[in-house]
Structure formats: structure tokens, C-alpha cells
Structure 1
Amino acid sequence: MTALTADQIARVKATAPVLAEHGVTITQHFYKRMFIHHPELKNVFNQAHQQSASQPQALARAVYAYAANIDNLGALGSAVTHIAHKHASLNIRPEQYPIVGENLLAAISEVLGDAVDEPTLDAWRAAYAQLAEILIGAEKALYAQAAWSGFRPFVVFRREQESDEITSFYLKPSDGGPVCHFEPGQYVSVKRFVKEIGVDQPRQYTLSDAPNGQWLRISVKRERVQDMPPGYVSNLMHDGVEVGGIVEVSAPMGEFTLHRSKTTPVVLISGGVGITPMVSMLASLAAQNSTRRISFIHACRNGRTHAFGRWLDAIVAKHPNVSRTVFYEKTHADDRLGTDFDFAGRLDFARIADKTLLPDADYYLCGPVPFMRAQQDALMAAGVSKARVRAEIYGSGEIA
């Protein structure tokens, strides 16, 4: 890898404040420009996130972080790993990086105009080439380990409604081949053609069962059609994929995984559909008859949106080392305290300290961004080391 010169590093770092101010404008222009010149890439990028501007915002944060840490790339290690797994799940290829680089540099120049000179643009070209080389290398390693390349057809052999919003799809390779191993907490990309926008769209869904060698299971939350942007793929899955249907699936990826070799307590904390990786983790621990103390803590709106409740109760009944705590934010008349849920209101660690603040515990968090921020802040305030907290956020947001 060709190292940047001291002058190039200084120029890129000096642009960080400008990117903090104008980053979203640049990235919005970048995506618009790239899709005009390369419309085929609409099949790769989440167009709903383009409509909501969440993807340009996420990219702006990433570009700013890269500029601010250009002289200390080690600080970006976890972010690089996260991005590489996302890219590998979407089948991003090395030949697509020059397209992104060309349009990103052009967007910087066109938005900032005379505020950025040619030597600074040259520094950014070198910086982008360096980042591309890092990501391509990381993704090459992931592809080499992947169970298959690209997207593979799977047949839905079972479909099960888990709540008013979440439906599980059980998948087997349509060619009759073996089902791959994966680590609890990993996800796959599922690709569907969206007629409303005329392109294929990939979406990433966590594998919601323990690795079993027989099937893969994803549990999809229906995003309401009145939402803006609508849940294109989730609604297609709910309304258009029945038993016998075929879906295109990528190989499992993701770094948010269970440390299965440990013997310390495990605290699994989820909100809404963030329960899916926790189900996979708990199912895996139960399948190996783990004796680790496991605390499963879940928050959702009410019993109608509570997925996997009966399954969790059965696990708790069979495994004395597992406890459950369920919060319903807004209960219905038919929700039974002590049976369906344990506490009314939002998740509050102060009410369950005996089940959350466990010595040497590892904490796994997953859910919407506001939920994740609240839980991480609460754990930090309670004195939990950040090194013991692992988090996965759905969508393109970030905790901090």
C-alpha cells in the first residue's frame, strides 16, 4: 500500500471541519451524480435509504471520520471491519471502487468549488485509493471464507408468523445442496426486484435461528406502507413470498457474533425486531447445553408485536440458567403481567439490576438507534466497561 505523504495527510485532515459542515450536501450530490452516470448501481444501494437521506448522512459521517483519523488509521479498525462485512454481503467488487472514487471526488469539487484547490483534491485521490485498497483487501479475505459467491437461490419451505409485524421464512438451497454454517448474530442479504422503482434491491436480515445444518431462517419485520420511505422489500417478502417461493440470498456475513467459547455470563438486550440475533445466540447456547448464566432482556410495544415469546418461555422452562425479562411500552387489555411481560413502560435497568449487572458479563445489544443509545448510556452509567458491550444497529444509523 502506497503511504500518503505528510503534505497529503495534512491537507486531508485540514478538510475535516469542512466535511463536518458540508458532508451531507456532498454525499447527496455524490449519490445523485453516480446514479446518473451508473444507473446499474441502483441495484446495489438501498434506494429507500436514499429517499430518507439516511445513507448520505451515514456516508458523510464515515468520510468525516476517515479525514479526522487519516494520521491514525488504527482508530478506524472496527469501522473498516463493519463496512467490509456489509460490502461483502452486498457482493461489492473491486471494479466498483473506481466508480465511487471518481464520483465522490467530483462531488467534493463541484460542491466546494474554489474552497478546495487541486493539491487538496490530489491528496483526497490518494486518500481514497488508500481506503479502497484497505477495504478491497478486507473484502477479499471475507469472500475467500464465504460459503458461496454472490447470490444463491433458496426455496422457502416454511413460513411462520411470529407477531403482527414479524414473519419468519425458513430457507433451503434450491439446488438441494448443503446448508452452510454461520456464527450466531450474522446476517444475509436477500435480493428482490421492486417494480415501483424498477430495480433489484438487497436487504440484510439477521439469521434468527441457531446453525443447524438443515436450514437458514430470517425473520422479517413488515415496514408499514405509509412510512416514508416505504419498506419495499419487507412488504414484498410478506405479501409476495409464500411456501415454494424462491429468494436470492448472499452468504452469511457480520462481525456482531456470539463469543461461544467463553464461560462468563451473557446478557442479551434487544428492542423490537432487534430480537432476531439474540434468538440465534440464545438458541445456539441452548443447543450446546451451555451452563453460562444467560439473561434475556427484551422490549417491545405490546403483546401483538412481541415475537418469539412462547419460544423464549420454553427455553427458560427447560434451562434453569436462563432468565427472561420483557418490557411492554404500551400494554393492551389482553397482555398478562407476569405471563406475557414482566414490566410496563420502557426498559429500565434500575428495575432489573440483579439481571443486568452481572460480574464479568458480556453484553449484546440490538435495536433501533434511540433504544441503543439509551441502553449503552445506562450500562456505562452503571459502570459496565465499554469493552464488554457489543452492539448491532439496524439501518444506517449509529449509536455515537
Structure 2
Amino acid sequence: MEQKEFQNNKDYVKESIALVHLCAELSNEEAEILIENSSLLTFPAGTVICKEGEYGDTSYAIIEGTVEVSINTEGHENLTLSLLEEGNIFGEMAALSGSPRSATVSAKDDTVVLEIPASTLKDLIKLSSGFKETIDALYKERAVNNYLKKVPFFVNLEDSLLTRLEDSVNLITYNKGDIIFREGEIGDALYIIRTGFVKITKKHGDTDQIVAYLSHGNYFGEIALFEDERRSATVSAFTRTEVIEVLEEDFTMLLESDSALYQEIKDIVLERKFRTLEVERDPEKARRIEAIVEGGLIEAGSLLIIDLKTCIHCNNCVDACQDRHGYPRLDRRGTRIGSISFPVACRLCPDPLCLVCDFDAIKRAPSGEVHIIDEKCIGVSGCAIRCPYNVIQMVETESKRDSKWLDILGKLTGTKKEAKVEGIPKRLAIKCDTCMGYSDTACTNNCPTHAIKWVNPLEYFGERDDILDKVVEDPVAIAPQTRQEYKTLVVSKKVPESQNITSFYLVSEDGEPLPSFLPGQFLPLKLDIPGQDKPIYRTYSISDSPHKGYYRLTIKREAAPADHPDLYPGVSSNYFHDQVEPGTKLLTKAPRGKFFLDSKSENPVVLLSAGVGLTPLISMLNAITDSGSNREVWFIHGARNSTEHALSNHIRNVAEEHDNVHVHVAYSQPIEENLEGRDYDSKGYVDAELLKNILPDNEAEFYLCGPPPFMKSLFNGLLEWEVPEHRINYEFFGPASLIKDRAKVSTPKRAAVAMDSSTGVEVEFSSSGIKTNWNTSFESILDLAEANGLSPDYSCRSGVCHTCMCRLEEGDVEYVEEPLDPPDEGCVLICVAKPKNKVVIDI
């Protein structure tokens, strides 16, 4: 390959691209953009320009010469699909979708091409509607034609039938979470997955039970067509997914023309029905499949695994990683499935969310490795925030700063940066890149027992039955490996945010990186407070985005209730406000919590808070904006007035700096100094009616955090506005019944659910004289006690504070979430416990 001197060929390129069909739609100004951002390349005859299966972020317009397009398919190696001559374009599918190249393209004779970056293609699509229509049509035609020839389903079809299919099928793109069809609907098409993953769910009582997942190359929807039934399950996109839709009449034509295909479909239908029935009869299997799928393990391009049966915990893998790269890019603590652990390492995602950088400092190699270019990284941390698996870390390094990037950063921030200052710390993103450039991976090559290795998840897990065989090795099945050790953090800064709310910045005492967290999670603390006879366990939401090098806790001073001044004020909140100062050391464990932002989604998000409930939502807001995402965000907050409104200036500033962020503040009791339009936007409360007036529609994902009346009003108001419950996420330390309107669920229905879910395992509350049976519709023994009219003490409902600890007089329990600290001997934390057999509890 040779790159020609561009300026000397500019007029030549201008004349040549006029002959490219795709570029005929461009104006003179748009053509200039194309030329200025592209490169002119020459390839001798026989040279491979791009290779099937590799990744690429460029496309090519043929200026001179001819190229050959070929694929490898079942029974055919290097099958020639077509010859493309000057005026054609290729490579645009991989450049636009981020998927691997679908074909190999070689120079048939000496060839001159214009190499066009994906970013330029996308800019031109936005600028020119004609260009967009042309490239969309080309993308669809090639995606369908190339892929149909690869699908074993169609290998034996006559050319005439294949041509008919190419003309009649549809290429459809679904975003993560989109429903492709629902259980009970009339079936009218078969779907073949071109890229991405789908999950298949069936109704099981009031819940949706995952019964299977399918990846590219598989098909679904055949049961309803083959047996003339309604859809037997719901299918939704688990990732961004492209499918080829084959309409019913074409499906019938295929079966009539190919008896072998008819028998294959018949066998598949019977097998899938049997497997689905098997899972339906065993909800535990369904739970395990759901954990594997929802944990993102199946969709990875590659997974690092550790066999715990042979691992001797010598830490050689981490040490070898550090020796090779100067800093450990591997964290052995990860997700566990039976006796297999999945450490924190790059998963080579098919569609990496981290590949967003204004400085082009993170790239994907043709072979798939995602790597950081140190010389270009300026430590913005957008890539780290967007990575859903916490693979990317931000570290301080001693390095020389490059004047070019400092000049750019200075222009962006309006500050002057000193160039080439030796020996000053530089924030740098680091990540596992599977030892790109080496002949081996350090972690696997230095394991004395060969317990750690890289696997292809689809090959490793195999079919669903193989997954279940692996999972049942361990009855605990799937649970994140808990980081149970306490870590000492030091308060580095204390900042008043309002009259009764203060932020505390916590950093690592030993200088090691802080455990990662997801936006919205909380930090558990063990507080030794003077005057208290035992430690106080508390949790506080982290109120800033991850990867900042600190945890920020924004804490409201809890006074004694106004109507009960005789009661004690909040012990831990007053301790923080009165006694915790910079330099104070605190014992914490790793962040945890099930309330966090879905960073994979690009759907609009509405963050709804009241009072100090805004803290986890600010973490989510900052994570979205810090990542560079253009996701639409509405931050809607309610407070009494400015004296209780924390971080108000920060939120307003974020909205001013980001066009995709919209803020609305409601004050219920504004004081004289508060001005409408400056300090707040409306007087009153945040409720469903306010949302209907502010939001364009109800299609967003909603996140709620605040006091019980606020939560109940909004939760039920959103349901009445026909927002599906799965799009309403909330943080609430209390039973769900306190925010869900029971009046909307009829008594007979509740009774039926309870009857269907009863297990026959007896639970006795000895002090109350109540005996009942365990019911799987409840999440914990605490829920069951409340349903039977009891009111045991509780606070966190997440196994942290020990307020709910009761004496276990008989029987055994299991924990649905591992307690932060184990309960006293002979006791149980009822907020996270379920009975394994008959239990007697002192309540």
C-alpha cells in the first residue's frame, strides 16, 4: 500500500469522486469535507485491502481499478460474491456498524482508492439526506445479500429462490431493550439474527422468565409459523441487534421447496418446546440463565476465566500483568459461576461503549483489541465511565506532557497549560488489551496450574443445557464475589452544600485505587462513634461519577422530628457534621447496591428526586455527561426551598454546558430570597402532572429517589401514565408495598398469587404466635413478617445496618444478598434472608 501526496492529487480526487455513485448526492461544500478528511491510497494487484472478520473504522471509494469481494461460508472457501469497479464503495458496513468486516476485499489489478474515516461518513449522513438515503439502501442490500449466503439455513437453496428472498426480506435494527414480538401475538415472520443478541422470555406468574438467549447466525419465530399458533414467548433485543425478517409467505415457500429444511425446522420446534418446558418446571434454572445473560457474559467477544478448582490463589496472574505493563490491568475479583470465576478484564465487546474519545486516544485494532494510546490520553475518563464492566482505570503516572494535547485541552477549558513539564503526575486511562503486541498473555502464561485462560463465551458455554451443567456445580450458582475486607479511607475535604447538607470527599489511605462502583450505588460504612457502645453501620449514596479518585458522600443532618423533639437526632449524620473533619479515617467496604444507571442504554433518562434523594441521581447525571454521551437527560428535583437544596449551582452549570441536559426544580415553600426562574422553575411538588407538562412523552427510563410520600406518588403516577414498571427504577429503603398502590391489585388476584407461590416451608414467628408458609413472591423473611401484620425493626433492607437482626431459634436460612458483616451467632438478618427449611424466629 502506498499513500499518495494528497495536495498534488486534490483536483484529481475532485474529478474522480464525481463518478462515485454515492458521492453524487453531495454538495460542493460536503464534497470538500470528504476530500479534506480522507486519504488517497494505492494497492498493487493481489493485495488484500480489508479482511473478513477483522474490525475497521474506514470505508473505501474506488477511484481506479477493480476489486474482488469474497467470503468464507459452509462448503466454500473464498467464494467470490462480486467484482467492483471504479465508482463503487466498500467497507461502509463495518465502518458504520462497528461490526467485523463481512467480506474480504482484494485488489484485482492495481487499484487506487479514497480511504474515508467512519467519522466522516457519519458527518455526511447528518449533513446530506440524499447521501443518507443512498448509503442506507446500499447498507441494506449488502447486509442482506452477503449474509444470506453465509447462513446454513439457505445453503442448499436454488439461486432463483435466493434471489427472490434477497428482494423480499427486510433488514431491521433494534436497540437494546426493544421488543421484537410479544408472547400471545399472531406470528407473521421468521427472524434471522445478523448481529447482536436476543433474549427469550415467558410469563411465569407476574414475572418474565428468561428461558433462552440467541446470538448471530440463529433464528427465531419459527414455532408460530410452523404450527400456526400464536407467539409462545416474548423476544427482545439484549444488545443492539440487526435481524433479517422473512415474511410468512416466503417461509412457507422455503419449506415447500426443501424437504430437508422442513424436517430440520420440525426437529428444532420440538427441541425448543421441550427445553422451554424443562426450564419452566425449574424456576431455579431460569434464574441462573437470567443471571448469566443479564451479567453480559454471553455477549462478550472473549472472556478471561479462572477455574477455582485448580487455582491456588498465588496471585501470579496479577503480578505478571503488573510486571509487563507497569500497573496491574487485571482484577481477580469478579463474577462467579459455580467453580468458575470471571475476573475483571477486557471482554472485547462486539460494540464497545468505551470507544468515545475526542482525542482519539482509545482505538480498536483490526483483530478486535481495544487499547489506549498513552501519548494521546489526557485523562478525561469518559472511556472509563462508559465501560459497563469497570475494566478501565484512571491512574496517576509520572510522565512528560505533550504540548499538542495540552494546547488543545487549554483551548477547551479556557486555561493555559504548561507544555513538556517533566515529572508531574498525569491522569492516564489504563485497561487490559489482552497483551496486544505480545505473543502471549502475561496472566495465562504465568499461572503454575493453568487455572486461568481466555475462552470464547459461546463456545465455552455452548448450548443452554451446557450452561446449566456448569452452573449446577455450585448451589450458590451466580453471585458477584464480595469484597468483604474493610478498607480505611481518609476524608480529604468537607464542603457545605446547604444549610443542613454537607459533602465529604473520601480518598484511599494507602494510595491504592478505590474499588470501582456504578453510578447510583452506595458506600457501606462502619462507624465507631464516641458515646456508642457498639459500631454503627450506615450506607450513604456516592454523589459523584466513578473514576474520580475519590468517593463523595453528600449527607443531610437529621434533626429530631419537629413533632417529637424528645426523640434522638440522627446519630451518624450528626457525627459526620459535628466531628468528621479532613484527616478523619473511616472504615468502609466496597460500594454496592442494586440501584444504578444502565450505562449500556442510550434511551432518554429522567432523574427524579426530592430532598437529599438527589445524591445517587447526581452520580448518574455526572456519569452521563462525563462520558460524552448525547443521551437526553431530564433532572427534575423537589425541595422545600434553597436552604435545603444541595448542589444546585452544579446542576444548573451542567445543564448550561450540555444541550442534552434539561433541569426543572420545584420548591414547595420558597423563601423571600428565592426567585422563580433563577432558583427554581415552579412552585409546588414533583408529581406525575408536572412530568406530563415538562416531558415530551413517557418513553424514557425513570429513576426515583426520595422520601416515601414522594416515591409513592410518582411511582403510581407513572404507572397511571402507562409507563411500564420495568422502566421505573427506584432507591427505597422500605417494602415495595409502601410505594406501590395496593388498591390497584384486586384481593382475589393477590390471593391467587400467594396461593400459587406457597412452598410448604413453615415459618414461625415465636413471640407473636404466628405460623405461616414461606411464599416465593416475597423477597425476604422481613417482607413475609410485614405481610402477616408484624412490624419488626429495619432500616437499610440490604444486609448492612443490622437493625433487623433477630434470634434464629430453629432451622436454616440462605441470604439472597450477602450481609456486609455476618450477624451475631444464633441470629439472622431477616431483611436479606430466606428459609431453607422450617424456621422459628423470635419476632
* TM-score with structure 2 setting the length: 0.30
1:211 aligns with 2:550: no
Higher RCO, 1 vs 2 (CA within 8 Å, ≥6 residues apart)? 1
Q: How does 1:162-241 map to 2 (within 5 A)?
A: 162-225=497-560, 226=565, 228-241=567-580
Structure 1 residue 385 displacement after superposition: 1.1
SS of match in other structure, 1:199: coil
CA 73–373 in structure 1, closer or farther in 2 if over 3 Å, else same: farther
Find the counterpart in structure 2 of residue 259 from structure 1. 598
The 1:227–1:259 alpha-carbon spacing in structure 2 relative to 1, beyond 3 Å, is: farther
Any conservation in 1 of the 2:489–2:587 contact (CA below 8 Å)?
A: yes
Counterpart secondary structure, 1:291: coil
Cα distance in 2 for residues equivalent to 1:304 and 1:343: 16
Larger Rg: 2
- 8 Å Cα contact 1:265/1:359 also seen in 2: no
Residues 526 and 586 in structure 2, CA contact (< 8 A), matched pair in contact too: yes
The question of 1:329 aligning with 2:668 is answered yes
The alignment partner of 1:228 has SS state of coil
The residue type paired with residue 198 of structure 1 is D
What is the deviation of 1:174? 0.9
CA 1:245 to 1:262, structure 2 compared with 1: closer, same or farther past 3 Å?
same
Displacement of 1:303: 0.5
Paired residue for 2:715? 376
Task: After superposing the two structures, state which structure 1 stretch, 341-350 or 295-304, moved more.
Answer: 341-350
Q: Are 2:493 and 1:158 equivalent residues in the alignment?
A: yes
Q: Which residue, out of 297, 305, 311, partners 2:644?
A: 305
Deviates more, 1:210-219 or 1:314-323: 210-219
Which of 138, 141, 157 aligns to 2:479? It is 141
Counterparts of 2:671 and 2:609, CA distance in 1: 21
* 1:344-399 CA-partner distances (Å, limit 9, x unpaired): 11123323424346353100000111110011111111111111101111467842
Alignment of 1:7-26 (within 5 A): none
Q: Distance in 1 between matches of 2:529 and 2:624?
A: 37
User: Which deviates more, 315-324 or 184-193?
Assistant: 184-193
Q: Distance in 2 between matches of 1:178 and 1:195?
A: 30
1:362/1:154 CA distance change after superposition, 3 Å: same
Equivalent in the alignment of 2:14: none
* Residue in 2 that maps onto 1:60: none
Post-superposition CA distance 1:242-284 (Å, at most 9, x none): 0111111111101111011111100000011110011000000
User: Aligned runs of 1:1-400 on 2, under 5 Å?
Assistant: 137=476, 141-142=479-480, 144=481, 146=482, 148-225=483-560, 226=565, 228-356=567-695, 358-394=697-733, 398-400=738-740
CA distance in 2, matches of 1:304, 1:237: 19
| Alignment-mate amino acid for residue 484 of structure 2 | S
Aligned equivalents of 2:552 and 2:726: distance in 1?
30
AA partner of residue 174 (structure 1): E
Task: Work out the CA distance in 2 between the residues paired with 1:149 and 1:378.
Answer: 39
Change in 2 beyond 3 A, CA 1:273/1:395: farther
Distance 1:367 1:311, change over 3 A: same
1 CA distance for matches of 2:702 and 2:566? Answer: 32
What is the distance in 1 between the residues matched to 2:687 and 2:657?
27
Letter aligned with residue 297 of structure 1: I
Report if aligned partners of 1:185, 1:281 keep a CA contact under 8 Å in 2: yes
Give the SS at the match of 1:224.
Answer: coil
SS at match of 1:235: helix
Q: Work out whether residues 699 and 723 of structure 2, in 8 Å CA contact, stay in contact via their aligned partners in 1.
A: no
- Distance of 2:643 and 2:734 partners within structure 1: 23
Please give the alpha-carbon distance, in whole angstroms, between the structure 2 residues aligned to 1:160 and 1:261: 32
Deviation at 1:155, TM superposition (A): 0.3
Q: Residue type matched to 2:700 in 1?
A: A
- What is the CA–CA distance in structure 2 between the aligned matches of 1:273 and 1:201, rounded to whole Å? 21
Contact (CA 8 Å) 2:490, 2:506: kept in 1 or not? yes
Match of 1:28 in 2: none
Alpha-carbon distance, 1:216 to partner? 1.0
Greater displacement, 297-306 / 375-384: 375-384
- Deviation, 1:336, is 1.1
**Equivalent residues of 2:698, 2:723 under 8 A apart:** no
Q: Deviations over 1:107-139 (max 9, x none)?
A: xxxxxxxxxxxxxxxxxxxxxxxxxxxxx948x
Instruction: Quote the Cα distance in structure 1 between the aligned partners of 2:531 and 2:735.
Output: 22
Asked if 2 retains the 8 angstrom alpha-carbon contact of 1:178 and 1:213, the reply is no
Alignment match, 1:17: none
Please list every run of 5 or more consecutive structure 1 residues that lacks an aligned counterpart in the other structure: 1-70, 82-135
Contact 1:186 1:277 in 2 (8 A): yes
Letter in 1 for 2:558: E
**Distance (Å, rounded) in 2 between the aligned partners of 1:376 and 1:227:** 33
Residues 177 and 163 (structure 1 numbering): CA distance in 2 closer, same or farther, change over 3 Å? Answer: same
C-alpha deviation, 1:228, in angstroms: 3.2
The answer (yes or no) to whether the contact 2:635–2:664 under 8 Å persists in 1 is: yes
Q: 1:396 to 1:247 in 2, by over 3 A?
A: farther
TM-score, length of structure 1 as denominator length: 0.63
1:196 is displaced (CA, Å) by 3.8
Deviations 1:48-81 (A, max 9, x none): xxxxxxxxxxxxxxxxxxxxxxx9988xx8xxx9
After TM superposition, give the deviation of residue 194 of structure 1 in Å: 3.4
How far apart, in 1, do the equivalents of 2:282 and 2:531 lie? 44
In the alignment, the residues of structure 1 paired with residue 643 and residue 516 of structure 2 have an alpha-carbon distance, to the nearest angstrom, of: 32
Distance 2:723 2:538 in 1: 33
Q: Secondary structure at the match of 1:194?
A: coil
CA distance in 2, matches of 1:188, 1:174: 16
Distance 1:197 1:396 in 2: 28
Gaps of 5+ in 2: 1-280, 292-474, 741-843
**In structure 1, the residue corresponding to 2:673 is in which secondary structure?**
coil
SS in 1 for 2:528: strand
CA distance in 2, matches of 1:137, 1:150: 21
Secondary structure class of the residue paired with 2:553: strand
CA distance in 1, matches of 2:726, 2:666: 26
Counterpart of 1:364 in 2: which secondary structure? strand
Q: What's the RMSD between the two structures over aligned residues?
A: 2.4
Mapped partners of 1:229, 1:386: distance in 2: 37
1:346–1:227 distance in 2 versus 1, CA, 3 Å: farther
Change (3 A) 1:72 1:350: farther
Task: Map Cα deviations across residues 86-110 of structure 1 (whole Å, 9 max, x no partner).
Answer: xxxxxxxxxxxxxxxxxxxxxxxxx
Give the structure 1 partner of residue 45 of structure 2.
none
Q: In the alignment, residue 545 of structure 2 is paired with which amino acid? A: A
CA contact (8 A) 1:349 1:356 kept: no
**How far apart, CA to CA, are the structure 2 residues paired with 1:244 and 1:208?**
20
